Each structure stands twice: as structure tokens, then as C-alpha cells.
Amino acid sequence: DAGITQSPRHKVTETGTPVTLRCHQTENHRYMYWYRQDPGHGLRLIHYSYGVKDTDKGEVSDGYSVSRSKTEDFLLTLESATSSQTSVYFCAISDSDASSYEQYFGPGTRLTVT
Amino acid sequence: KNQVEQSPQSLIILEGKNCTLQCNYTVSPFSNLRWYKQDTGRGPVSLTIMTFSENTKSNGRYTATLDADTKQSSLHITASQLSDSASYICVVSPYSGAGSYQLTFGKGTKLSVIP
């Protein structure tokens, strides 16, 4: 998985609780992304980062926030989890912008909100 | 709206047989098209990436073709193996200059190879 780890790999939480997912890379890639994958949908971009402290929204960003204080770590936070956020979350990295360069994906985090 | 449609949704083939997966897209302007393989419970892994000027690209038993005029791509798998059982995802990158981050993902074709 190209030097990308995600933690936790599985999590069950209750509606209304905050949740933070972590993505850690050892490739020193500038760009990092958070996606969610749901049945019947392709992967959808939540947020991305193009450098330390530089982040922006993707197409499904409502209810999520991110932070990147170090090159290697990209955190995804659900401030108050809802059942609609039950999903598999993937982190991805790339050396440059997604349009031209290969993206490498982490192993995923399966989140269940009850 | 940019869209990527894949067919079939699922496919079952016998080990050793060939198969072809289809991808149609409406993304325009177009930068490149990628095929990913996703094993159950794992993240997608890149198989090929083609720019609009490339017609075909191979990666071992996987051969992708691209027709930018008709906005169609296919992924051909030769002499299938049990380890080919996975979802195959077509991904299109629109061209919008430097700093483009939004890829358009298809929903995938789930391939099952049986003995």
C-alpha cells in the first residue's frame, strides 16, 4: 500500500460522538486525500490537502473537517457522527496534483455509526 | 456533469478464460484515464494510466484500450486467474489546468473467477 497506513482499521461508534481517522504516509508526497466508498457509488472525495496546513473541500465535505500539521499525517474528523457517515474511508497520496499523477491508496477504515 | 459508467456491473468467468470490461465517460476536457484493481477489503491499486493520445497500454495480462473520440475504454484480461477476482474501477481525470484534484470514479465491475 505504498507506505500508507490508516488507523483505526475498523471502528464502531454511536451517533453524535466525534471520530477522528488518521492517515500516515512515509513517501513524503505533497498531496493527500480522503475519500469515502459506499455501495452503489464510486469513490467520492471528501477533502484534500496540497501541503502542510493547506486543505480544501471535495464534493462530499459536509459534516467532515481535516487537518494537516505535518507532511506525513492527514486527519479526518467527524465532529458529530451520523448514520449516513457509515462507510469505508480511504486515504490516498500523490506526488503532485491528481489530474496528472498517480494516486496511491491506503488500506481503508471501515466506520460504522450506530 | 462528469460521469463514468462501467459495464457489466458484475461478471463471472472460468479460470483461464479471457474477459473484457467496459468504461464509457462524459468527462470533458479530458486529461487521462486510469484502471484500478480493488481486492475485497483493500484499497484500489493502479493497473494502467493513459493520456488522451494513447490508444493502448498493457500491464502483464491486463491490456487497456482508449478511444478518446467515442469516449470509451476497455480493460481486457487474458488467461484469467483466481487472483483476478476483484472489483475493477475506471477513473477519469478532467483537465482543468495545474492543481486539479477532482477525479471521476466509476462504480466498478465486480469480477469473479471460478475454478
- Alpha-carbon span A4 to A95, nearest angstrom: 13
Q: Is B105 on the interface with A (CB under 8 A)?
A: yes
Q: Which residue among A44, A59, A99 places its CB closest to the CB of B93? A: A99
pLDDT confidence of residue B30: 79
Spatial contact of A24 and B85, defined as CB atoms under 8 Å apart:
no
Q: In which residue ranges of chain B is pLDDT below 50?
A: none
Could you tell me which chain A residue has the CA closest to the CA of B37? A105
Phi then psi for A104, rounded to 5 degrees? -115, 135
Phi then psi for A85, rounded to 5 degrees? -95, 5
Give B107's contacts in chain A (Cβ within 8 Å). Answer: 40-42
Q: Is B95 on the interface with A (CB under 8 A)?
A: yes
Give A43's contacts in chain B (Cβ within 8 Å). Answer: 44, 89, 105
Q: Extract the C-alpha cell encoding B13.
A: 468467468
Q: Choose among B113, B96, B31, B106: nearest CA to B74.
A: B106
pLDDT confidence of residue B13: 98
Is A109 a residue whose pLDDT tops 90?
A: yes
Which SS3 state, helix, strand or coil, does residue B83 take? helix
Contact: A99, B49; criterion CB under 8 Å? no
Contact: A43, B44; criterion CB under 8 Å? yes
Q: Choose among B57, B102, B62: nearest CA to A94.
A: B102
> B94 to chain A nearest CA, in Å?
7
Is A88 a residue whose pLDDT tops 60?
A: yes
Q: Which residue among B43, B95, B102 places its CB closest to the CB of A108? A: B43
pLDDT confidence of residue B79: 98
Once rounded to an integer, what is the mean pLDDT over residues A81-92? 97
**What average pLDDT does the structure give for chain B?**
92
pLDDT confidence of residue A100: 65
- Alpha-carbon span A89 to A91, nearest angstrom: 7
pLDDT confidence of residue A2: 65
Question: Which residue has better confidence, B22 or A94?
Answer: B22
Which H/E stretch holds residue A74? Answer: strand A73-78
Is A112 a residue whose pLDDT tops 80?
A: yes
Q: How many CB atoms lie within 10 A of CB A114?
A: 9
In chain B, what are the helix, strand and coil shares in percent, each to the nearest 5? 5, 55, 40
Is A1 a residue whose pLDDT tops 60?
A: no
Tens of pLDDT, residue by residue over A19-48, are 999 999 999 999 999 999 999 898 999 999
**What average pLDDT does the structure give for chain A?**
93
Give A92's contacts in chain B (Cβ within 8 Å). Answer: 43
